[in-house]
C-alpha cells in the first residue's frame, strides 16, 4: 500500500520551526480555517499562516479564548486578518452552523483540534464515542460541509493532525463506539487517529476538484492535549517528576516545532498536488505492517484505500442519521 513513487522528502529537519518551513511563502489573499487554533499546536499554526499573509479563522469551542492571539496578530505588520468563530466538533448542529454561515472560497483547512485518552467512555448526545466524534466525525462533517468552498478555491489543501497512536489501533467497523468491547482510552484515541488518516486517503475522490488532503504526526509535545491523562501515566511516560512537575524529554518538540509539519502541508510549494499521504518530522513517513522496534511510520491499515472508502461511507451514514 506504499505509494509507487519514492517517499517525499523536504530539506527541513525534525525540529524545524513552523515559520521556517514557509519562510518566503506569500499567502496574501488565501483563507484558512484552523480548528482548535486558540492554543498549543493550533495557535502556532495560526501564527505561521497569518504572518505569511493568510486570513485565518480560528474555529474553537470558546472563541473568547482566542482573543489574546487575535490581538497579538492584529499588531503584526503584513499579517492577514485573524478572527475566531464558535465550533464544537462533537455537536453536529454546531458544525452545521459553522459551514452554513461560511461564504466564499477556502484555501486551507487544518483539522487540528482533538481530545485524547478520555478516562471513561463518554458519548455525544447522538451516541458517538467522544474521541471519535471530535477527532474524526466532526472534522469529516466540517470538511464535507465546506467542500464547495474548498472546490471554489481552485487549489485547496486539507491538513489533518493525526498521531503515532494510530499504529496499534485500526478502525473497528464492527464496534467503533465501544458498545460491546471494553472501553480503552488509548484504543479509542488510536482508532480516531487511524480514521483521520483514512479520511485523507478517501479524499482522493475530490482530486478532480483540485483538493488535496494529507495527514501528519506532529511528534511529542506537551500541550493541553494531555489534560485527561492521569499523573501515574504521565510519570510512566517520563514527563512528570514525583512532585508533579511536568517536563519534556530531550526528544520532545516545542509547540512551534510540532506545528511545522502542519504548516508545511498547508502552505509549502513542495506539497503542491500531493494527496493521501502521511508525514512526520517534515518528511513523508514509511509504511509499517506490524509494530516494529524502530519508532514512527504509518500503519498499512491507515493507508488502505478499501478501508478508506468504507469509512467514508460509514461517516456519511453516521452524519445522515445524527
Integer Rg of the chain from CA = 18
| DSSP code per residue over 51-102 | HTT-EEEEEES-GGGGHHHHHHHHTSTTPPPEEEEE--TT-HHHHHHHHHH-
Closest alpha carbon to 112 in 32, 15, 41: 41
Q: What are the distances in angstroms from CA 187 to CA 17, 178, 287, 315?
A: 30, 10, 20, 19
List C-alpha distances in Å: 153 to 32, 87, 222, 308: 11, 22, 34, 25
Burial letters 21-57, b for 16+ CB under 10 A, else e: bbeebebeebbbbbbbbbbbbbbbbbbbbbbbebbbb
Supply 78's cell numbers: 503584513
Q: Give yes or no: 252 in active site.
A: no
Look at residue 222 and give its three-state secondary structure: coil
Q: Identify the active-site residue in 183, 189, 278, 314.
A: 189
**CA dihedral of residues 46, 97, 196, 3 (deg, nearest 10):** -80
Residue whose cell numbers read 494527496: 275
Give the C-alpha distances (Å, rounded to integers) separating 306 from 202, 237, 253, 297: 9, 35, 34, 20
C-alpha 45/C-alpha 33 separation (Å) is 10
Q: Is the dihedral of CA 208, 299, 278, 124 positive or negative?
A: positive
Which of the 8 DSSP states describes residue 137?
A: I
Residues acting as catalytic residues:
189
Amino acid at each position: 500500500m506504499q505509494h509507487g513513487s519514492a517517499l517525499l522528502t523536504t530539506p527541513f529537519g525534525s525540529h524545524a520551526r513552523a515559520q521556517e518551513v514557509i519562510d518566503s511563502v506569500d499567502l496574501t489573499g488565501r483563507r484558512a480555517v484552523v480548528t482548535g487554533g486558540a492554543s498549543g499546536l493550533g495557535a502556532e499554526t495560526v501564527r505561521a499562516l497569518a504572518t505569511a499573509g493568510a486570513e485565518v479563522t480560528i474555529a474553537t469551542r470558546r472563541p473568547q479564548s482566542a482573543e489574546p492571539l487575535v490581538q497579538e496578530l492584529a499588531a503584526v505588520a503584513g499579517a492577514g486578518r485573524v478572527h475566531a468563530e464558535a465550533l464544537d466538533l462533537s455537536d453536529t448542529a454546531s458544525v452545521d452552523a459553522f459551514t452554513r454561515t461560511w461564504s466564499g472560497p477556502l484555501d486551507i483547512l487544518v483539522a487540528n483540534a482533538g481530545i485524547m485518552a478520555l478516562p471513561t467512555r463518554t458519548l455525544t448526545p447522538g451516541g458517538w464515542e467522544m474521541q471519535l466524534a471530535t477527532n474524526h466525525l466532526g472534522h469529516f462533517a466540517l470538511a464535507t460541509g465546506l467542500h464547495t468552498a474548498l472546490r471554489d478555491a481552485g487549489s485547496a489543501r486539507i491538513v489533518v493532525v493525526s498521531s503515532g497512536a494510530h499504529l496499534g489501533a485500526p478502525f473497528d467497523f464492527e464496534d467503533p463506539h465501544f458498545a460491546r468491547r471494553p472501553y480503552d482510552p488509548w484504543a479509542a484515541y488510536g482508532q480516531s487517529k487511524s480514521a483521520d488518516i483514512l479520511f485523507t486517503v478517501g479524499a482522493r475522490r475530490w482530486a478532480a476538484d483540485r483538493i488535496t488532503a494529507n495527514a501528519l504526526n506532529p511528534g511529542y509535545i506537551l500541550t493541553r492535549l494531555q489534560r485527561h491523562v492521569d499523573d501515574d501515566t504521565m510519570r510512566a511516560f517520563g514527563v512528570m517528576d514525583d512532585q508533579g512537575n511536568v517536563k519534556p524529554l530531550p526528544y520532545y518538540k516545542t509547540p512551534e516545532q510540532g506545528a511545522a509539519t502542519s504548516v508545511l502541508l498547508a502552505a509549502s510549494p513542495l506539497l503542491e498536488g500531493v494527496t493521501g499521504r502521511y508525514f512526520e518530522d517534515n518528511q513523508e513517513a514509511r509504511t509499517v505492517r506490524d509494530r516494529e522496534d524502530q519508532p514512527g511510520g504509518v500503519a498499512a491499515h491507515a493507508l488502505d484505500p478499501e478501508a478508506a472508502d468504507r469509512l467514508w461511507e460509514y461517516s456519511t451514514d453516521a452524519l445522515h442519521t445524527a
